[in-house]
Structure 1
Amino acid sequence: MNTLLDRPAPAAAAALTLRRGAARVLLDNWTGTSTVPSRTLYPHQWSWDSAFIAIGLRHLSARRAQQELESLLAAQWADGRVPHIVFNDAVPADAYFPSPDFWRSSRSGATAGAPANRETSGIVQPPVHALAAWLVHSADPAESRRRGFLSRVHPRLVGWHDYLLTRRDLGGDGLVSVVHPWEPGMDNSPTWDRALARVEPTPPDTFRRADLDHGQPADRPTDLDYGRYVRLATDYRDAGYDDRAAEHRFAVEDPAFNALLVVSELALAEITRELGLPGEPHRERADRLTRHLVDTLWDAGAGIFRVRDLGDRSLVDERSITGLVPLIIPGLPPEIVRRLSRALHGPHFTSPATRLVPSYDLTGHAFAPHRYWRGPAWFNTAWLIERGLRTHGLHGDAARLRQGFLADAGRTGFAEYLDPLSGEARGARHFSWTAALTLDLLCADDADPKEPRP
């Protein structure tokens, strides 16, 4: 395995500087029980952020990485859902919108099993958690076994996956549906526009957006988008967060969300086997999910996975990063791997200023290089695609993406995302998942992977 000591001195020094900078970001953003994504824009605990953060933290402290995941899972609802935000009571209510007073989880979510003593949101985010738990365990198996880490998180992860595969199979085709644009984590992607057009927005003068206090309006979702987000969240809350009772005017099947569930099911199989239980049921579920994903969301003509709008059960004619993330699935058919690799190197996703992958088609009608998920290149999706490339033996492509990631992370002060046309840092700086995944890629090695791969 390559180590810092094996590299030429300048490269070793640069890597050490980058590692120290990333570690400093995670130290500064640590609250004592978990890590905030950003001290300014995101002052609470976010679900898939904590999973990515734990993946990086394992290289600094396996114990702290375990705590990151366990603090999140402690806020799990009785129906199995892991909420996308766990609110910190010490943070002023007006520091973030929607606030705990908006979600009212302990009251409106009581029937669904929301915690009575902890305020959370009522929606979810992508299920990266079992993958993170397995990687955290693999970083220090002896410490993990000594503390009983996997035995504690295992039932919670099983409940989380069961919730998604039962209550969220709204299309009845074996895939998980998302009911709010915040749930896939790619908030204002153009892939949601068609489904969102059916939603009557809440008037902007009825709520106050705290995100504009810390971010440029040109970077953030528009007031129209936000009005629709608020309407959807309000309707879901008023239905008691009941997936069967809610109207779901927005419901889509997202390829990245489902792909991450496939990979986490494979990781859950490894966790289950480590605990002396049969892991085969989880492998079988992963295989079924993969088949459903390919049969339902693969667009062979375009060579990319598409979002499916359950409003009319048709594929959305947009190319976005969500259609490339399924590259992370180990059992993907070789022809699909080849087509996705070609798409990565084609005109739609080859950025002139960064090796990171833009979040939306560079040639698309809705491309906007600064506006959140409508064009900017993100570090977390680059990490997923780099891992997918390595999974399928495309080591040269993975190495180039990894090198670009590390260079851009250091150059931009661990920015939230980049303008793909200029390479300019956008969004928050000292962003936790950028720092955490930098640590992980500093330890990645093609020939001798850092951890067992599910």
Structure 2
Amino acid sequence: MSATDTPLAPAPEAGAVMSEEELRRQAVEVLDANWERDHTVPSRALYPHQWSWDAAFIAVGLAHHRPERAWRDLRSLFAAQWYDGRVPHIVFDPDVSERDYFPGPAFWDAPASPGRLGGLTTGIVQPPVHAVAARDVYLRCLDRDAARHELEWLYPRLVKQQTYLFEGRDVAGDGLASIVHPWESGLDNSPAWDNALAAVPVDLSLLRSHRRQDTQVSVHSHRPTDTDYARYIAIAAAYRDGGYLDEGLLERHPFLVECPSFNALLALAELALAGIAEVIGADAAPHRDRAEHITKVLVDRLFNPSTGMFHARDVRTGQLSTARCVSGLIPLVLPGLPEAHRSSLLEVARSEAFGLGGELPLPSYDRTAPDFDRLRYWRGPVWINVNWLLWQGLRAHGHEHEAAALRAAMLGVIRRGGCHEYFDPVTGHGIGAAAFSWTAALALDLMAATP
């Protein structure tokens, strides 16, 4: 870990465990230190801009600390929404040098849009968890009139985001949204993408013309490999060079995957929008209908009875990934998931592969797999945001005992390791960026919940 990864608040000494009050203080310090004018950066050292799904998780935590900042974070993100409804996965801070983050705005070369109030952005998206965040922030606000006003501003933009994903990204025509880049999943280098990525040619010369910044401020062996990163650059460039158009993707784009977690969150967003619609006087029924439809197609298309969980589907080949990744458990968040599938997911989550009910939260990948990597990004480590989603799913289905155990496990690793980006799934030690915003934010939400 480089010197730039030093936490803003002191990390606990080896073997030390913070009290909840000490953790609350550290979480607040992290969020305050990472606030930048009208948004929160994930990490000063590694992620100096605004990230899309980070903003949603951060807003959930800010609702307990600075709710006005929660709304500002969401507003600043949606001010950068594209004319077609897509919400970019990064909104770039114009005050940050192009040298300090790659790929930056010059690489993405996003087209100007007269309807977009925000600044420079990428052209890809991330999971649509923003409606869930907006609903949660509203429910925690004491001033409901002011919060309702915020929902009235956000609602049409959230609907436009969903419409873009339903219509523009239904590449296979089966009712599910496709991702065009692994980064769109939020689970960047998950083994779930390995089969689809294998068909993308590797050109390592791209790393000579486009210098990685992540490995300059983080441990190289913890990050995606150079081979994977070269593919990421090639895929992003292909989408950019196609004008960020979604028509004809099947004929020309090298990576098209239906991700179970992305689509589960798409359905969950519709349920959140139904709740928001009721608050502002809009029609909630279409949102519930869409959530029901996505859930049905998700079960029909991405569930594998032989593994008992959901898997990513390569749209080009029609094949499901064989990798057992945490993304395949995320559909547990859906209250309309059929009983048989819910029970199956719980059985897999409780197994040795993921260890629900143990002292540590669930890893990002099957810990019994031969290529399980406890330190490399999404190929093994524990992430608080996906565990927070699973915690929500457990509660939605009435599994209060296991929800309480998962909450305790999440708070346990953060109290021992601080507000790190992710955690070693064997020791629980914090790794990655040290003062990481969504870990801090979700810690505040977990501490506010009833045990």
TM-score range relative to shorter protein: over 0.9
Query: Which amino acid counterpart does residue 186 of structure 1 have in structure 2?
Result: L
Counterpart-to-counterpart distance in 2, 1:146 and 1:441: 22
Matches within 5 A, 1:202-351: 202=203, 203=205, 204-246=207-249, 247-350=252-355
Counterpart-to-counterpart distance in 2, 1:295 and 1:416: 34
Distance 1:426 1:351, change over 3 A: farther
Are residue 193 (structure 1) and residue 172 (structure 2) matched? no
Query: Which amino acid counterpart does residue 192 of structure 2 have in structure 1?
Result: T
Question: CA offsets, 1:179-218, max 9 Å, x none?
Answer: 1000001111111011111112342212100001111010
Equivalence for 2:141: 140
Equivalence for 2:126: 125
Are residue 52 (structure 1) and residue 57 (structure 2) matched? yes
Deviation of 1:152 after TM superposition, in Å, equals: 0.4
Question: CA offsets, 1:276-304, max 9 Å, x none?
Answer: 11100000000000000111111122111
Query: Which amino acid counterpart does residue 300 of structure 2 have in structure 1?
Result: D
- 2:282 aligns to what SS in structure 1? coil
Deviation of 1:101 after TM superposition, in Å, equals: 0.6
- 2:183 aligns to what SS in structure 1? coil
Matches within 5 A, 1:391-402: 391-402=396-407
Matches within 5 A, 1:78-89: 78-89=83-94
What root-mean-square deviation, in Å, do the aligned CA atoms of Structure 1 and Structure 2 show? 1.7
Query: Which amino acid counterpart does residue 24 of structure 1 have in structure 2?
Result: E
Query: Which amino acid counterpart does residue 167 of structure 1 have in structure 2?
Result: G
- 2:111 aligns to what SS in structure 1? helix
Give the unaligned 5+ runs of structure 2: 1-17
Query: Which amino acid counterpart does residue 159 of structure 2 have in structure 1?
Result: V
Equivalence for 2:8: none
Q: Percent identity?
A: 48
Are residue 373 (structure 1) and residue 374 (structure 2) matched? no
Counterpart-to-counterpart distance in 1, 2:90 and 2:327: 21
Moved more, 151-160 or 350-359: 350-359
Moved more, 237-246 or 386-395: 237-246
Moved more, 353-362 or 382-391: 353-362
Counterpart-to-counterpart distance in 2, 1:142 and 1:117: 27
Normalization by structure 2: what TM-score? 0.92
Q: In 1, are the aligned partners of 2:85 and 2:157 still within 8 Å (CA)?
A: yes
Question: CA offsets, 1:89-146, max 9 Å, x none?
Answer: 1111111100111001135xx5xx7848611000000000000011111111634536
Counterpart-to-counterpart distance in 1, 2:118 and 2:398: 47
Counterpart-to-counterpart distance in 2, 1:420 and 1:377: 6
Question: CA offsets, 1:227-276, max 9 Å, x none?
Answer: 00000110111111001144221101001001111111001011111111
Distance 1:114 1:42, change over 3 A: farther
Equivalence for 1:31: 36
Counterpart-to-counterpart distance in 1, 2:175 and 2:356: 35
Counterpart-to-counterpart distance in 2, 1:136 and 1:175: 28
Matches within 5 A, 1:145-184: 145=146, 148-184=149-185
Equivalence for 2:96: 91
Moved more, 133-142 or 51-60: 133-142
Counterpart-to-counterpart distance in 1, 2:265 and 2:449: 20
Question: CA offsets, 1:8-28, max 9 Å, x none?
Answer: xxxxx9222221111111001
Q: In 2, are the aligned partners of 1:343 and 1:349 still within 8 Å (CA)?
A: yes
Q: In 2, are the aligned partners of 1:379 and 1:434 still within 8 Å (CA)?
A: yes
Question: CA offsets, 1:323-344, max 9 Å, x none?
Answer: 0111111111112111111111
Are residue 16 (structure 1) and residue 17 (structure 2) matched? no
Q: In 2, are the aligned partners of 1:351 and 1:358 still within 8 Å (CA)?
A: no
Moved more, 214-223 or 202-211: 202-211
Counterpart-to-counterpart distance in 2, 1:242 and 1:22: 40
Are residue 72 (structure 1) and residue 73 (structure 2) matched? no
- 1:178 aligns to what SS in structure 2? coil
Counterpart-to-counterpart distance in 2, 1:418 and 1:352: 17
- 1:123 aligns to what SS in structure 2? coil
Counterpart-to-counterpart distance in 1, 2:79 and 2:304: 39
Query: Which amino acid counterpart does residue 224 of structure 2 have in structure 1?
Result: P
Counterpart-to-counterpart distance in 1, 2:33 and 2:147: 28
Are residue 356 (structure 1) and residue 361 (structure 2) matched? yes
Matches within 5 A, 1:97-108: 97-106=102-111
Distance 1:233 1:144, change over 3 A: farther
Counterpart-to-counterpart distance in 2, 1:165 and 1:273: 22
Q: In 1, are the aligned partners of 2:89 and 2:122 still within 8 Å (CA)?
A: yes
- 2:221 aligns to what SS in structure 1? coil
Query: Which amino acid counterpart does residue 134 of structure 2 have in structure 1?
Result: A
Give the unaligned 5+ runs of structure 1: 1-12, 447-454
Counterpart-to-counterpart distance in 1, 2:109 and 2:29: 34
Normalization by structure 1: what TM-score? 0.92
- 2:403 aligns to what SS in structure 1? helix
Structure 1 segments, 4+ long, off by >4 Å, are: 351-354
Counterpart-to-counterpart distance in 2, 1:184 and 1:144: 34
Counterpart-to-counterpart distance in 1, 2:377 and 2:292: 33
Query: Which amino acid counterpart does residue 37 of structure 2 have in structure 1?
Result: G
Counterpart-to-counterpart distance in 1, 2:144 and 2:292: 31
Deviation of 1:174 after TM superposition, in Å, equals: 0.3
- 1:67 aligns to what SS in structure 2? helix
Q: In 2, are the aligned partners of 1:415 and 1:429 still within 8 Å (CA)?
A: yes
Distance 1:124 1:287, change over 3 A: same
- 2:220 aligns to what SS in structure 1? coil
Q: In 2, are the aligned partners of 1:201 and 1:230 still within 8 Å (CA)?
A: no
Counterpart-to-counterpart distance in 2, 1:263 and 1:75: 23
Query: Which amino acid counterpart does residue 360 of structure 2 have in structure 1?
Result: R
Counterpart-to-counterpart distance in 1, 2:56 and 2:356: 27
Counterpart-to-counterpart distance in 2, 1:406 and 1:392: 21
Counterpart-to-counterpart distance in 2, 1:144 and 1:124: 31
